C-alpha cells in the first residue's frame, strides 16, 4: 500500500494521465505482477522468448519500438539493447522500475504516447485518432513489438463512459482493437504481436463460470504460439473462483494475417 502510494506520488505523469486512470492502472499492475511473480513467470518467459525469436533473423537492426513496454517484465531489454542500434519504449506511463532500467543503456529511450487514440478526444481536444501508430511510419524502424498491450487499450476509454453514466459509443472497444491491428499491418518493419485474447473464470470444481472476449469480437488468425497466463489464483478475485487468460503470439504479424482465423 505504502509503495503504491510512493509510485502514485512520485511518478512523472500529467494531470490527464492521472485523471484518466493510466497511472493508477500501472501502479496496480506493478503490485499485481510482483505479488504473482512465480505464477506469471511462464507467461513472461514465453513472451520474452518469442520476441527474441521474432527478431533473430532480421537483416537490418536499426531501430526497434516496443509498444506497451510498461514494467518491461515481458521485454528482453538487455538483448534488444545489444542487438539494435536504438530501442524506443512506448507507453502511457513509465514507472520507476522502467525509468531506472533504461539508465543502464545509452541507446534506449522512453516515449509517452496514447496508443488507443482516445485520450485527447476524451479530454475534449479534437476527434478520436484512428491511426495512433502513424508516428511509427519511419523507414529506420525494423522491428516493432506490441507487448501484451492490445486488450488493455479499450479498458480506460470504456471506463470513462461507464464511470460518468454515459452510454458507450457503439463498437468503441472493437474499433480501438481494430485500429491497433490495422496500424500494425501498415508498418514496414517486422511486427511481433503478443496479446491476451480471452479471460476464463473457473470455480473450484474446474467448471467454467464465465468466458470473456478481451478483444471485443475482433477475430485473429491462428497464432504461432498460444499459452495460458495464470492471472488470478483462488482468493485474488473471490474465494471460489480463479482466472486465466489465453495469450496468442505472432512472431511475424504480416505473415500471420494471411492465415485463416
Ligand atoms: C499488461 S501491460 C503490458 C505489460 C508490459 N509489456 C510489461 O512487461 O510490464 C499493458 C500496458 O499497456 C499500457 N497502456 C494501456 N493503455 C495504453 C494507451 N492508451 N497508450 C499506451 N499505453 C497504454 C499500460 O500502461 C501498460 O503498461
User: For 219-261, what is each residue's pLDDT tens digit?
Assistant: 999 999 999 999 998 888 888 999 999 999 999 999 998 887 7
Ligand 1 mutation pick, 49, 149, 172, 197, max ligand atoms within 8 A of CB: 149
Distance 207 CA to ligand 1 centre (A): 31
Q: Which domain holds residue 156?
A: 41-256
Residue 30 within a domain: no
Residue 29 within a domain: no
- CA 161 to centroid of chain Cα atoms: 21
Residue 226 within a domain: yes
Residue 19 within a domain: no
The mean of the pLDDT values for the chain is: 96
Q: Residue 118: which CATH number?
A: 3.40.50
Contact yes or no for 252/191 (Cβ under 8 A)? yes
- Which is nearest to 83 in space by CA: 95, 66, 103? 66
Ligand 1 pocket, CB under 6 A: 22, 26, 29, 68-75, 91-93, 114-116, 147-149, 152-153
Distance 204 CA to ligand 1 centre (A): 31
As a whole number, mean pLDDT of residues 11-19 equals 96
Cell of 200: 476464463
pLDDT at site 6: 94
Residue 16 within a domain: no
Residue 174 within a domain: yes
Nearby residues of 118 by Cβ (< 8 Å), 6 or more positions away:
128, 129, 157, 160, 176
Which residue has the CA at smallest separation from atom 26 of ligand 1?
70
pLDDT tens profile 59-96: 999 999 999 999 999 999 999 999 999 999 999 999 99
CA pair distance 19, 184, nearest whole angstrom: 28
CA pair distance 162, 158, nearest whole angstrom: 6
pLDDT tens profile 155-201: 999 999 999 999 999 999 999 999 999 999 999 999 999 999 999 99
Q: Which atom of ligand 1 is nearest to the CA of 98?
A: 9
pLDDT band at 41 (very low <50, low <70, confident <90, very high): very high
Q: How many domains does the chain have?
A: 1
Residue 7 within a domain: no
Residue 12 within a domain: no
Amino acid at each position: 500500500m505504502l509503495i503504491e502510494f510512493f509510485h502514485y506520488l512520485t511518478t512523472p505523469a500529467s494531470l490527464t494521465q492521472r485523471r484518466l486512470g493510466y497511472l493508477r492502472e500501472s501502479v496496480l499492475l506493478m503490485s499485481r505482477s510482483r505479488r504473482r511473480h512465480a505464477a506469471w513467470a511462464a507467461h513472461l518467459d514465453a513472451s520474452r522468448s518469442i520476441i527474441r525469436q521474432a527478431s533473430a533473423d532480421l537483416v537490418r537492426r536499426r531501430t526497434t519500438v516496443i509498444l506497451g513496454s510498461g514494467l518491461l517484465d515481458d521485454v528482453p531489454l538487455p538483448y534488444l539493447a545489444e542487438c539494435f542500434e536504438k530501442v524506443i519504449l512506448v507507453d502511457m506511463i513509465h514507472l520507476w522500475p522502467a525509468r531506472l532500467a533504461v539508465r543502464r543503456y545509452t541507446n534506449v529511450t522512453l516515449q509517452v504516447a496514447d496508443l488507443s487514440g482516445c485520450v485527447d478526444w476524451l479530454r475534449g481536444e479534437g476527434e478520436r485518432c484512428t491511426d495512433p501508430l502513424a508516428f511509427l511510419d519511419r523507414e529506420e524502424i525494423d522491428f516493432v513489438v506490441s507487448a501484451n498491450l492490445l486488450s488493455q487499450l479499450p479498458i480506460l476509454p470504456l471506463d470513462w463512459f461507464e464511470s460518468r453514466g454515459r452510454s458507450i459509443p457503439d463498437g468503441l472497444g472493437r474499433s480501438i482493437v481494430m485500429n491497433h491491428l490495422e496500424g500494425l499491418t501498415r508498418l514496414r518493419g517486422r511486427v511481433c504481436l503478443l496479446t491476451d485474447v480471452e479471460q476464463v473464470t473457473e470455480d473450484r470444481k474446474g467448471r467454467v463460470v464465465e468466458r470473456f472476449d478481451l478483444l471485443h469480437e475482433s477475430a485473429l488468425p491462428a497464432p504461432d504460439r498460444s499459452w495460458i497466463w495464470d492471472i488470478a489464483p483462488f482468493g485474488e478475485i473471490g474465494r471460489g473462483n480463479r482466472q486465466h487468460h489465453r495469450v496468442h503470439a505472432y512472431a511475424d504479424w504480416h505473415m500471420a494475417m494471411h492465415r485463416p482465423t
